[in-house]
């Protein structure tokens, strides 16, 4: 009798624990499409029991030799103080933890090298409340980049484009915060076909560790590379860091990007280049076994003046990528700001990335990689509205509905201050309209500012950064709040609206 009672008791306990976790999960995602929440990093809803964030990539050398020194930015948009713990997983030492306290309506910035020194380091942030968003900044000799932190690990991650050409380094970090090992396959698609390096097959990422691989040491001198991270067992967080050190091709720059955990049928990009001397292209990656038929629609500001750009129709073969240079054939005029929508016509999901290059003569020279948003939401947090050393910053709000206007409000928060941005208390955003909120180089006078956007309908928010002396540029989708997140439906109409610029000078 006793020989079989213990296994049954253990099973009962496990089922009770699982039921408790499921119950909490259901409460945390009430009225939210689970597919939408799984597609992007999300901030926990008001009253949530906790929040967890994973910032995968970055160095923590602590001096000028660090290629991508990591600063973690945490913004608390709630009215309560949120307590938590930050655990750093260094590449060459044991984990180190430190407590963190987030007072209401404030942002905390943590330099990882102040906690531990290591060639590479990943960060786990565990908090006891909701309405907190986390992103991180990477700084090195080549430039600066803002990048998303994940709110959950996943079994797959996709990166439509990077490069290992001469003068460029591509680092891929796989962060496994769990106690058991993860086994990962990393497959790549180059301009001349597939690459499945043996060194990247069955790659073991030890439990409670992060592994950073230099892709260019194995797959050399490729002008274009799409990357698929597929986890055989366990779950990880994957982020890539592109470092360009020579002037051939893109100028010296640093571009970090969290991968997409899944392909989606729609991707939204609120911001588009409205100045000369920039390149802008979209990379559409199809990780499936089926052909994808995709439309890329560039929605020009002030269409009565600038006209309407004919959509790009793109066929993307299975496990391949396609590149669209939006300025190549003249249908998108140079110097006209815009939004963009990527949509699969045959419902085969893809991953969409925007690549912006500031060339000689541009205000901000550099390289930026940005995934679009596959979701819409009624509440967004931009935990980093501006940073030290920024020459300019903006938050861009886009209404993807072709028929319905949206009433919204935008608020700045920082150091306990919480004020509506002038002109944006109950402002109406027209169908397919954009509002550019100019935060400026000083964060509108706020210390360590963040931005909160609330709307009476679904919108998408993106942030834009330029840095002093034109050293780099960075774009980043903001963080939607659980309870307001939706999968987009009808998105594209015939015309976009005039963009309104608010704030700043």
Per-position DSSP letters for 238-289, written without gaps between them: EEEEEEE-SSSSSPSEEEEEEPBSS-BSEEEE-----SSSEEEEEEEEE-SS
Residues 50 and 127 in one domain: yes
pTM for the predicted model, two decimal places: 0.91
Residue 482 and residue 29 in contact, taking contact as beta carbons nearer than 8 Å? yes
In a domain, 277, yes or no: no
In a domain, 325, yes or no: no
**pLDDT number for residue 249:** 66
In the numeric block, the tokens 């909120």 are attached to 437
Q: What is the residue range of 50's domain?
A: 36-141
Tokens at residue 302, please?
């002030």
**pLDDT number for residue 248:** 65
Tokens at residue 382, please?
């931009």
**pLDDT number for residue 13:** 31
Residues 123 and 216 in one domain: no
Residue 123 and residue 84 in contact, taking contact as beta carbons nearer than 8 Å? no
**pLDDT number for residue 253:** 93
**pLDDT number for residue 376:** 97
Domain boundary among 141, 167, 185: 141
In a domain, 6, yes or no: no
Whichever domain contains 172, its CATH number is 2.60.290.11
Q: How many CB atoms lie within 10 A of CB 326?
A: 21
In a domain, 446, yes or no: no
Residue 77 and residue 132 in contact, taking contact as beta carbons nearer than 8 Å? yes
Tokens at residue 342, please?
């990527």
Residues 127 and 175 in one domain: no
Tokens at residue 504, please?
């700043």
> Into how many domains does the chain fold?
2
In a domain, 472, yes or no: no
In a domain, 426, yes or no: no
Residues 110 and 134 in one domain: yes
Residue 226 and residue 257 in contact, taking contact as beta carbons nearer than 8 Å? no
| Distances from the Cα of 2 to the Cα of 6, 7, 10, 15, 332, angstroms | 7, 10, 13, 21, 76
**pLDDT number for residue 485:** 95
Across the chain, which has 505 residues, the per-10-residue mean pLDDT values are: 34 33 35 68 96 98 95 97 98 95 96 97 98 97 96 98 95 97 98 95 97 97 96 98 82 95 97 92 98 97 94 98 96 96 96 94 91 98 93 96 95 89 93 95 90 97 89 94 88 41 43
Domain boundary among 114, 141, 168: 141
Domain boundary among 212, 237, 258: 258
């Amino acid at each position: 009798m006793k020989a079989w009672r213990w296994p049954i008791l253990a099973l009962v306990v496990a089922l009770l624990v699982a039921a408790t976790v499921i119950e909490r999960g259901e409460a945390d995602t009430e009225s939210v499409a689970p597919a939408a929440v799984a597609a992007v990093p999300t901030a926990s809803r008001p009253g949530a029991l906790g929040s967890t964030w994973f910032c995968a990539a970055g160095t923590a050398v602590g001096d000028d030799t660090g290629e991508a020194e990591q600063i973690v930015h945490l913004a608390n948009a709630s009215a309560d103080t949120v307590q938590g713990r930050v655990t750093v997983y260094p590449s060459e030492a044991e984990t180190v933890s430190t407590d963190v306290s987030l007072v209401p309506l404030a942002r905390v910035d943590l330099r990882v090298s102040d906690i531990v020194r290591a060639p590479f380091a990943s960060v786990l942030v565990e908090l006891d409340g909701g309405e907190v968003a986390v992103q991180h900044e990477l700084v090195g000799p080549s430039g600066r980049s803002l990048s998303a932190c994940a709110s959950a690990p996943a079994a797959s991650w996709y990166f439509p484009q990077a490069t290992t050409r001469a003068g460029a380094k591509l680092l891929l970090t796989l962060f496994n915060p769990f106690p058991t090992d993860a086994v990962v396959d990393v497959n790549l698609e180059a301009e001349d076909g597939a690459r499945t390096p043996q060194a990247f097959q069955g790659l073991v990422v030890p439990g409670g560790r992060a592994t950073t691989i230099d892709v260019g040491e194995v797959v050399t001198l490729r002008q274009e590379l799409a990357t698929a991270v597929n986890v055989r067992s366990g779950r990880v967080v994957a982020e890539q860091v592109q470092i360009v050190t020579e002037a051939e091709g893109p100028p010296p720059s640093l571009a970090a990007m969290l991968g997409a955990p899944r392909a989606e049928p729609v991707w939204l990009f609120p911001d588009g280049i409205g100045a000369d001397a920039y390149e802008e292209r979209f990379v559409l990656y199809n990780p499936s076994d089926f052909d994808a038929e995709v439309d890329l629609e560039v929605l020009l500001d002030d269409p009565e003046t600038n006209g309407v750009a004919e959509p790009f129709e793109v066929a993307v073969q299975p496990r391949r990528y396609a590149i669209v240079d939006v300025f190549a054939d003249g249908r998108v005029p140079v110097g006209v700001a815009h939004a963009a929508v990527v949509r699969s016509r045959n419902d085969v999901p893809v991953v969409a990335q925007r690549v912006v290059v500031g060339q000689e003569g541009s205000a901000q020279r550099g390289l930026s990689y940005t995934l679009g948003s596959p979701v819409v939401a009624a509440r967004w947090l931009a935990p980093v509205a501006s940073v030290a050393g920024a020459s300019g910053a903006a938050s861009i709000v886009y209404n993807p509905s072709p028929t319905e206007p949206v009433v919204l409000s935008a608020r700045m928060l920082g150091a306990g201050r919480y004020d509506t941005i002038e002109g944006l208390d109950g402002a109406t955003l027209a169908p397919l309209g954009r509002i550019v909120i100019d935060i400026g180089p000083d964060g509108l006078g706020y210390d360590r500012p963040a931005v909160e956007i609330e709307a009476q309908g679904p919108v998408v928010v993106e942030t834009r950064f330029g840095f002093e002396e034109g050293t780099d540029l960075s774009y980043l989708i903001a963080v939607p709040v659980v309870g307001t997140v939706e999968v987009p439906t009808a998105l594209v109409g015939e015309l976009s609206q005039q963009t309104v610029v608010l704030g700043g000078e």
